[in-house]
Amino acid sequence: IDRALAAEKSPAVRDRLELARATTLLASHDAAKRLQAAEALQLARSPDIKLLLNEQLSHEDDPKVKAAIQAAIAKINEGLAWGDRLGVLFTGASLGSILLLAALGLAITYGLMGVINMAHGELIMIGAYATYMMQVVFQRYLPESAFGWYLVAAVPVSFLASALVGAVLERGVIRFLYGRPLETLLATWGISLVLIQSVRSLFGAQNVGVENPSWMSGGWQVLPNLMLPYNRLVIIGF
C-alpha cells in the first residue's frame, strides 16, 4: 500500500489507499500506529469503518488509542447523522410529490366543478394500468433496445386514458349531479368501486409490476449512507 501511495497521482485513488492503509494499521501491535489509524479513519464517514472501529474498541487496551477511537466514532456518527437527515428529507419530498399530485387533482376538481370526486384515486389507477399496458406493448411488439422508452410513451397514453374515463363519467353521471355535493360524493364512490372491480376482472386481483427502464435504475451516491435513487429523482422532477 505504501508503494502504491508513493506512485499514485489521482487524489481519489490516494484517499482510498490512505483508508486501506489506516484500516491495516488499526490491527497493528504498535500503539502509535493504531493511534495514527484511528485519527485517519475519523474522516471516513462510513458505516463499515464505524463497525471496524467499534470492534477494535471492544478489545483496545491503550487509553490514548481508545480515546482516539471513541473520538473517531463520534465524528463518524456526526457525519452519518447528516446522511440520515438528508435521506428522510429526500424520502419525504419524493412521497410528498406523489401526494401533492393527487391533492392538486382533488382541489382543482372541487374548486372548478364543485364535485367531491371519490373516484379520483381510481382515475390515477387507470393511468397506472395504462403505463403497465405500454410496458407490455413494448415488451411484446417492439425491439428490446426500445424498452427503455416505454415510460416516456406511457406519459401521454396514461393522461389520455384517465381523461377518456373521466370524460365518460362526467358526461354519463356527474353532469346530472352538479350542485348536489352529497349525491356526487355517493355516486363517485360507487363509480370507484365499479372501476376497481373492472380492473380486477381485466388484470386479476394481484398487483402487476412496472419495471424501471435502464436509465432510471441505480442512484446517485451523495454520502456513504445516502443514495438518491434515479427513479425518485425523476418522480420529483416530473
> Among the three residues 80, 115, 143, which one is the final residue of a domain in this structure?
80
Q: Tell me the C-alpha distance between 6 and 17, whole Å.
A: 10
Residues 122 and 190 in one domain: yes
Q: Which domain holds residue 148?
A: 94-237
Q: Which three cell numbers stand for residue 47?
A: 458505516
Residues 32 and 133 in one domain: no
The predicted structure's pLDDT at residue 201: 92
Domain assignment present for residue 86? The answer is: no
Concatenating the DSSP letter of every residue in 127-172 gives HHHHHHHHHHHHHHHS-GGGGGGHHHHHHHHHHHHHHHHHHHHHHH
Residues 71 and 120 in one domain: no
Q: Which three cell numbers stand for residue 174?
A: 356527474
Count the neighbouring beta carbons within 10 Å of the beta carbon of residue 164.
Answer: 12
Count the neighbouring beta carbons within 10 Å of the beta carbon of residue 218.
Answer: 12
Residues 68 and 154 in one domain: no
Per-residue tens of pLDDT for the chain, all 238 residues: 666 666 667 766 666 677 777 777 777 778 888 887 887 887 777 787 888 888 888 877 788 888 888 888 888 888 888 888 999 999 999 888 888 888 888 888 888 888 888 999 999 999 999 999 999 999 999 988 888 899 999 999 999 999 999 999 999 998 888 888 889 999 999 999 999 999 999 998 888 888 888 888 888 888 888 889 988 888 888 7
- How many residues comprise the chain? 238
The predicted structure's pLDDT at residue 61: 78
The predicted structure's pLDDT at residue 14: 66
Domain assignment present for residue 136? The answer is: yes
> Among the three residues 47, 80, 113, which one is the final residue of a domain in this structure?
80
Residues 57 and 99 in one domain: no
The predicted structure's pLDDT at residue 116: 86
Tell me the CATH number at 66. Answer: 1.25.10
Residues 206 and 231 in one domain: yes
Q: Return the exposure string of 72-103: e unless at least 16 CB atoms fall within 10 Å of the residue's CB, then b.
A: bbebbeebbeebeeebeebeeebeeeeeeeee
pTM value is 0.72
| Radius of gyration of the CA atoms of the chain, in A | 28
Q: Which three cell numbers stand for residue 123?
A: 382515475
